Structure formats: structure tokens, C-alpha cells
């Protein structure tokens, strides 16, 4: 009875609910000399020899920790082969905002390195026996939202990416021409960390490149609107918003229905 209550609470509060039985494991892989440890989640009803669409998840600035793992399991519960990337490296799990800022800054400041780590994770997802390599998408949160757009800008041959409250800036706006996939941006309309100038530049970049883009703004939502751990005070610039969390997850599922049909 307690387990049922927890699942229902997750659904109504917009929290990452307990998995319905996804098969999960840590998965070691490499990017150049760097050792990485991702997290794989397979649907509970996956049959031997069956292939399913794959979804790569890119963590927020806290690294591959509980929140990212729970979201990965949720993707598996939807029926996808889900793999959470480890951008920072095995054992690098920031413990406070200062450490998070240092790690995230390394990759935001070096987009080439960021893209190599992203593509290494994508290769791992595609290599999974149950993954239909021709039907792959990526999602990311905050730092990871920036990441999946960088993955698209790198020219990755995937169906689509979904950015949840991610940064949109680019040191190389011309890279929009490399995008081969559809993009869905789920944005908090009152996010103080994503400036209007960055939004306008991103929209112009995507328009110039002819990218199939959906850009959805959630009224009243600020940064980190999908993460309960962000608190409930929008005045701080980052806060959980149950409505925006629920709506954006639904919009993601509609987007996937279009990509994988």
C-alpha cells in the first residue's frame, strides 16, 4: 500500500516516481582517456531480442546522481531504452553549488570537450543490443539541456532533442547549420538565468538553419522547474513548478510519439 501511495504521490506532485521495475545497472565507458560511469535502464517488459527506441539523458550541473537516475528509470517505464550520460567522469559527483559550478564551467567553457563527452555517451546507447539505433533521441536538464542542444549542433544523427530549462547560448552560432534533428525547448518564461538576448540569438540561429523547432514557455516558471530539490521560492530564480514539470513531461512524450512513429 505504501508503494502505491508513493507512485500516486509522484504522479500528482510531478516528482520522479519510483520505477515500475526497470532493469538498471551502472555502465562503464570511455571518452578518450577519461573513464566514465553512466546508468542504463531497460523497460521491465522488454523481450529477448526485441529492440526499442533509445533515449539519452544528460544530467544537470550536479552530475549523474539520484535525480538523473530516477528520470532515466521513468524513461524506461515509458518503454524506452534509456541511458544517462556521465559528462564529468567516474566518481566526480559535486557535493555543493561551488563544486557544481566548477565542473559545469569546464564544459560550458570548452564546447568541443562537451560534445566529445556527449557523443561518447550516444555511442554507448546505440551499442546496447536492445536499442534501435535508428530511433534515438536525447533529453537534458539545465546543464544537460544546454548539452543536448550542443549534441544537436555537433551534427549528431539522431531524431530529436528535448531541453528542459537549459542554457541556449552558443560561442559558435553558425553551428546551427549542423543540426539534423528536431528540437523541443521547454523553457521557464520567468527564468532569470536565460536572458532574452540569448533566446533571440538562439531562435535566429535555428531559423537561419531551417531547424524544425518547438519552443514552449511556461508562464510563471523559473529555472530548474522540473526539480523538486530546487525549492518553492521563485524569487530565488530557481524553483520547482509542478504544473510546468507535468506539462513539459507530457510535451516530451508527444514529441517522442512524433519522432518514433
Structural domain total, the chain: 1
pLDDT digits over 73-124, tens only?
Answer: 999 999 999 999 999 999 999 999 999 999 999 999 999 999 999 999 999 9
The mean predicted confidence, pLDDT, of the chain is: 93
Choice between 16 and 69, residue whose per-residue pLDDT is larger: 69
pLDDT at 231 over 50: yes
pLDDT of residue 18: 58
CA–CA separation, 199 vs 203, rounded Å? 6
pLDDT at 197: 96
User: Please, which pLDDT band fits residue 21 given cuts at 50, 70 and 90?
Assistant: confident
Is residue 10's pLDDT more than 70? no
DSSP string, 219-249: TT--BTTT-GGG-S-GGGSB---HHHHHHHH
Domain CATH number, residue 242: 3.40.50.1820
pTM of the model: 0.92
Q: What is the mean pLDDT of residues 160-166?
A: 98
Strand-strand pairing, 34-42 and 81-84? antiparallel
Is pLDDT of 14 > 80?
Answer: no
Per the structure, the complete domain to which residue 121 belongs is given by: 2-260
Secondary structure of residue 187 in the 3-state scheme: strand
Distance CA 59, CA 226 (A): 12
97-108 and 143-153 helices cross at what angle (nearest 10)? 10
pLDDT tens-place string over residues 70-80: 999 999 999 99
pLDDT number for residue 96: 96
Amino acid at each position: 500500500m505504501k508503494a502505491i501511495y508513493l507512485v500516486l504521490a509522484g504522479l500528482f506532485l510531478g516528482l520522479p516516481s519510483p520505477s515500475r521495475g526497470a532493469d538498471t545497472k551502472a555502465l562503464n565507458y570511455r571518452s578518450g582517456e577519461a573513464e566514465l560511469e553512466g546508468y542504463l535502464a531497460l523497460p521491465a517488459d522488454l523481450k529477448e531480442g526485441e529492440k526499442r527506441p533509445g533515449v539519452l539523458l544528460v544530467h544537470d550541473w550536479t552530475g549523474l546522481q539520484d535525480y538523473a537516475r530516477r528520470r532515466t528509470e521513468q524513461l524506461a517505464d515509458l518503454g524506452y531504452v534509456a541511458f544517462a550520460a556521465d559528462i564529468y567522469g567516474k566518481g566526480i559527483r559535486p557535493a555543493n553549488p561551488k563544486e557544481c559550478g566548477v565542473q559545469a564551467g569546464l564544459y560550458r567553457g570548452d564546447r568541443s570537450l562537451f560534445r566529445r563527452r556527449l557523443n561518447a555517451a550516444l555511442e554507448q546507447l546505440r551499442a546496447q543490443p536492445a536499442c534501435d539505433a535508428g530511433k534515438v533521441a536525447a533529453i537534458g536538464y539545465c546543464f544537460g539541456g544546454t548539452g543536448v542542444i550542443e549534441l544537436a549542433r555537433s551534427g549528431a544523427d539522431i531524431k530529436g532533442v528535448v531541453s528542459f530549462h537549459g542554457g541556449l547560448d552558443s560561442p559558435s552560432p553558425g553551428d546551427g547549420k549542423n543540426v539534423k534533428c528536431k528540437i523541443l525547448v521547454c523553457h521557464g518564461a520567468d527564468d532569470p538565468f536565460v536572458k532574452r538576448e540569448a533566446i533571440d540569438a538562439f531562435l535566429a540561429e535555428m531559423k537561419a538553419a531551417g531547424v524544425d523547432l518547438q519552443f514552449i514557455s511556461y508562464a510563471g516558471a523559473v529555472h530548474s522547474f522540473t526539480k523538486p530539490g530546487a525549492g518553492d521560492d521563485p524569487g530565488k530564480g530557481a524553483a520547482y513548478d509542478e504544473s510546468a514539470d507535468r506539462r513539459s513531461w507530457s510535451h516530451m512524450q508527444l514529441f517522442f510519439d512524433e519522432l518514433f512513429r
